[in-house]
Homo-oligomer: A and B are copies of this chain.
């Protein structure tokens, strides 16, 4: 993880500091800097941190933004509105790419402004880049902790190399196993009287192939389905069978 410091400037509500600490920690970030917070520490901050107490306890408090970012090599300031002077700007995703590229060796600060009015122009002047979070332009009032959540989420995503895949390593059925299943299905549909003319079979089977083909059946699922087909072919035998399905 790169050394990223989250800097909150003159936060009014201590609950927002707690929520921001929680948001940071869920994404693996721990360095919090507070510039002239109105109330801190505060029970509401602790309550909303919901277990990110270590982030709150480690938070450093500064009188000015200049002091909070003095040792940083890259400073990115969040802004909700375009300013008069054009400035190098980033989306959260571009910010994450930049941090990923540069973050190994340098100290980085990402700065979030006041609840009501964000960062001043003078504070934004201290930043190398401005960061805009894409949002609904007719209601762009993102909560400060929500903004921290989005930015740290993008940083976290960029830091994990490969996408997080949780789906199974179960083996997919081979084409041959699928063909055996389709043959068994067709025979069963004839046995139970669902297909009762040669003319009708092909278009129905085409529909069912389309349907089951979409699933990408696993081998184990083919086994379950064929077990069901066997029971449908011979209900009495099914009733006496011992089954093992986990």
Q: Which residues of B contact A236 (CB under 8 A)?
A: 193
Q: Smallest CB–CB gap between A137 and chain B, Å? A: 9
> Does B163 contact A91, Cβ atoms closer than 8 Å?
yes
The answer to the question of A59 belonging to the interface, with a C-beta cut-off of 8 Å to chain B, is no
Rounded to whole angstroms, the CA-CA distance of A201 and B148 in the bound complex is 45
Q: Could you tell me which residues of chain A, from 192 to 246, have a CB within 8 Å of some CB in chain B?
A: 192-194, 196, 200, 203-204, 207-208, 211-212, 214-217, 221, 224-225, 227-228, 231-232, 235-241, 243, 245-246
Q: How large is the interface on A (under 10, 10 to 19, 20 to 34, 35 or more residues)?
A: 35 or more
Q: Which residues of B contact A188 (CB under 8 A)?
A: 232
Give chain A's interface residues, CB within 8 Å of chain B.
19, 22-23, 25-28, 50-52, 82, 86-89, 91, 93-94, 130, 132-136, 139-143, 145-146, 149-150, 153, 156-157, 160, 163-168, 170, 188-189, 191-194, 196, 200, 203-204, 207-208, 211-212, 214-217, 221, 224-225, 227-228, 231-232, 235-241, 243, 245-246
